[in-house]
Amino acid sequence: MSQQTAKLSLPNGEELDLTVLSPTLGKDVIDVRALGKAGYFTYDPGYVSTGACESKITFIDGEKGQLLYRGYPIEQLAEQSNFEEVAYLLLNGELPSKEEYENFVAKINNHTMVHQQMMNFFNGFRRDAHPMAIMVSVVGALSAFYHDSLDINNPQHRDISALRLIAKVPTIAAMCYRYTVGHPFVYPDNDMSLAENFLNMMFSMPTNDWKPDPVLVKAMDRIFILHADHEQNASTSTVRLAGSSGANPFAAIASGIACLWGPAHGGANEACLNMLREIGDVSRIPEFIERAKDKNDPFRLMGFGHRVYKNFDPRAKVMRESAHEVLDLLGKHDDPIFKIALELEKIALEDPYFIEKKLYPNVDFYSGVILDAMGIPTNMFTVIFALARTVGWVSQWHEMIGEDDRRIGRPRQLYTGATEREYTDLNKR
């Protein structure tokens, strides 16, 4: 990592030399730690201009529309790899050999079951509870059952906790769905891939021999890969901040799930489906397009454009292919919701307004269409997002815990409240 120096003149006339750090990819970063010693702090709401950590896991170039996992383009991984291999890559930094891959999958399969007593947790929830509410609770409770590996300073404990989370979260996610619809829980089948196993635990019944269609398995596997990590977003930063205090990994991941639950983060594909339902019919699309172009109208087209990607979402092209494969398999191109989605897609790719503003369909648009076509209720969309992102969260947590200069997160503030004042007795106020 190359270094330069930037000079900063302070209001008191003092000059500070600040180190400029150059990454392997991306923009240079100014190390501002010397400011604190000089009695100043930076002010950056939302941390949008602040690098809070050093990481080797994921890189995004929003201008180019580029997403790399450990240097590998997301498009290549989604087309040629599978979720288990990507999980190994994110955790370990390199793609596995055949032997390493087989050993890794075997280790995951060894942990797919959850403790039988965890079944009792579900009976304490109302049947109409949101699956994310159940997810936050049950994942956080894992530490009460697997406290044999909670020493975060022990590399072996960290490894086994990582494997347990990657293996058990899909099982818990499927249980959340089964509980809310009143269906019996389905045990994992370790002869299946992670994506196939998840669909099997979601939809199979003890009364029939159902197996997920390979097209649906491939689509789900891609959804998992494309959502596995996304640099230092809100939920990942939450996991790192919670983990910086020394909290156990199950608690740290539960904090990430809680953050992801927010509609501004993990609920984007759910919001997209709700928008399609609000439009209701293809004939109403022009009305909503005009509303989207009107700056004074609060309506916004969900699933178009992206806060990070200023060009196009590199995940969307792969997801678009899967969306059409799933619609072809299930014969749902004539479904009203999907007709609206396809017409909106066509307009976004041709309308000069959308092209100029670079409001291309993003990954949330297509993943929402796919999940809905599969028969997955919208309140499960964020749960599936959390399932996929667990791999990234665990990798980021694992990297952070291994840092030599790890410190507990402690953001500063710009205080604008009352200055010091004297207390007045209640009877004199």
Q: Is the pLDDT of residue 79 over 70?
A: yes
Cα–Cα distances in Å, from 80 out to 76, 83, 312, 318? Answer: 6, 10, 21, 11
pLDDT (average), residues 289-307:
85
Percentage of the chain beyond pLDDT 70 is 99
pLDDT (average), residues 24-43:
89
- Chain centre distance of CA 424: 49
Please provide the average confidence, as pLDDT, over all residues in the chain: 92
Q: Residue 82 and residue 144: Cα distance in Å, rounded? A: 32
pLDDT of residue 48: 87
Cα–Cα distances in Å, from 205 out to 17, 182, 184, 187? Answer: 66, 12, 8, 11
pLDDT of residue 353: 87
Residue 343 in tokens: 């017409």
pLDDT of residue 1: 56
Cα–Cα distances in Å, from 291 out to 273, 278, 296, 299? Answer: 18, 13, 9, 6
Provide the Cα torsion 177, 220, 274, 325; round to 10°: -140
Residues contacting residue 336 through CB under 8 Å, at least 6 positions apart: 280, 281, 282
**pLDDT of 358-382, one tens digit each?**
888 888 888 888 999 999 999 999 9
Residues that are catalytic: 306, 364
**pLDDT of 398-426, one tens digit each?**
999 988 888 899 999 999 999 999 999 99
**pLDDT of 82-111, one tens digit each?**
999 999 999 999 999 999 999 999 999 999
**pLDDT of 186-210, one tens digit each?**
999 999 999 999 999 999 998 888 8
Residue 193 in tokens: 């891939």
Q: Is the pLDDT of residue 311 over 80?
A: no
Print the SS3 string covering 280-339: CCHHHHHHHHHHHHCCCCCCCCCCECCCCCCCCCHHHHHHHHHHHHHHHHHCCCCCHHHH
Q: At what angle do helices 214-226 and 363-373 cross, to 10 degrees?
A: 150
Largest CA distance in the chain: 79
Top-confidence residue, 335 or 284:
284
Is the C-alpha dihedral spanning 313, 317, 323, 324 positive or negative? positive
pLDDT (average), residues 72-76:
96
Residue 60 backbone phi and psi in degrees, to 5: -125, 130
pLDDT (average), residues 19-39:
90
Closest CA to 196 of 161, 222, 162: 222
Are the C-beta atoms of residues 255 and 417 closer than 8 Å to each other? no
**pLDDT of 382-399, one tens digit each?**
999 999 999 999 999 999
pLDDT (average), residues 105-120:
94
Lowest-confidence segment of 133-147, 164-178, 334-348 by average pLDDT:
334-348
Q: Is the pLDDT of residue 344 over 60?
A: yes
Q: Residue 81 and residue 278: Cα distance in Å, rounded? A: 37
Q: Is the pLDDT of residue 146 over 70?
A: yes
pLDDT of residue 2: 57
